């Protein structure tokens, strides 16, 4: 379970392994308001996401848990850093951009620090795209379920 089977640029590989070894925002949230879990059976990856919103409707806290290959776990770690502080509408935009990067070869978001860009090379390996997409799909699921169960807590931008 490593990035060895995926030929990535060394710099990108280092960024991915850094997130894998030192995951950001990993753990449980004390007062999670919404959560979702997902599985990538092809690789055996598991991701759980928990969210808590601030009074302004933005994602105040987000944490992930799970296990699996380095790409799935690193992608989840990057996701939590990327969407924290964003509204649901903004977070959905990031999911769309990430999906486009993985499936259509689009460029990473312009304000990306370089972390998300490091996963760009994974797009060449269809079997691993599912690993990278897992946490983003789980986020979409958590937000749609959360919005359905907590009316008035949605972003209000739609
Ligand atoms: Zn995987």
- Domains in the chain: boundaries: 3-149
pLDDT for the residue 1? 44
Q: Which CATH number fits domain 3-149: 3.40.50.720, 3.90.470.20, 3.40.50.300, 3.90.1010.10?
A: 3.90.1010.10
Calpha distance 76→80 (Å, rounded): 6
| Centroid of ligand 1 to alpha carbon of 158 (angstroms) | 33
| Centroid of ligand 1 to alpha carbon of 88 (angstroms) | 26
| pLDDT over 90 percentage in the chain | 78
Q: What is the mean pLDDT of residues 69-98?
A: 97
Calpha distance 118→115 (Å, rounded): 5
pLDDT tens, position by position, 6-37: 678 888 999 999 999 999 999 999 899 999 99
Which one, of 149, 132, 116, lies nearest residue 32 by Cα?
A: 149
Name the average pLDDT for the chain: 90
pTM of the model: 0.89
| Centroid of ligand 1 to alpha carbon of 72 (angstroms) | 5
Residue 144 in this model has a pLDDT that exceeds 80: yes
Range with the poorest average pLDDT among 34-38, 96-100, 107-111, 154-158: 154-158
Calpha distance 120→98 (Å, rounded): 9
| Centroid of ligand 1 to alpha carbon of 65 (angstroms) | 14
| Centroid of ligand 1 to alpha carbon of 91 (angstroms) | 23
pLDDT tens, position by position, 30-74: 899 999 999 999 999 999 999 999 999 999 999 999 999 999 999
pLDDT for the residue 97? 97
| Centroid of ligand 1 to alpha carbon of 49 (angstroms) | 17
Q: What is the mean pLDDT of residues 81-102?
A: 97
- With both helix axes pointing from N to C terminus, report the angle between 70-83 and 126-149 in degrees, rounded to the nearest 10: 40
């Amino acid at each position: 379970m490593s990035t060895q089977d995926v030929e990535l640029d060394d710099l990108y590989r280092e960024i991915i392994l850094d997130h894998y070894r030192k995951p950001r925002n990993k753990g449980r949230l004390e007062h999670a308001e919404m959560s979702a879990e997902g599985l990538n059976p092809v690789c055996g990856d598991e991701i759980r996401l928990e969210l808590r919103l601030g009074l302004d409707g933005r994602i105040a806290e987000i944490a992930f848990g799970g296990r699996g290959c380095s790409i799935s776990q690193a992608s989840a770690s990057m996701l939590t850093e990327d969407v924290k502080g964003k509204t649901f509408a903004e977070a959905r935009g990031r999911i769309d951009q990430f999906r486009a990067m993985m499936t259509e070869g689009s460029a990473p978001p312009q304000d990306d620090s370089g972390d998300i860009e490091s996963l760009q090379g994974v797009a060449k390996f269809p079997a691993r795209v599912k690993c990278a997409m897992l946490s983003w799909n789980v986020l979409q699921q958590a937000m749609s379920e959360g919005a359905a169960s907590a009316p008035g807590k949605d972003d209000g931008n739609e």
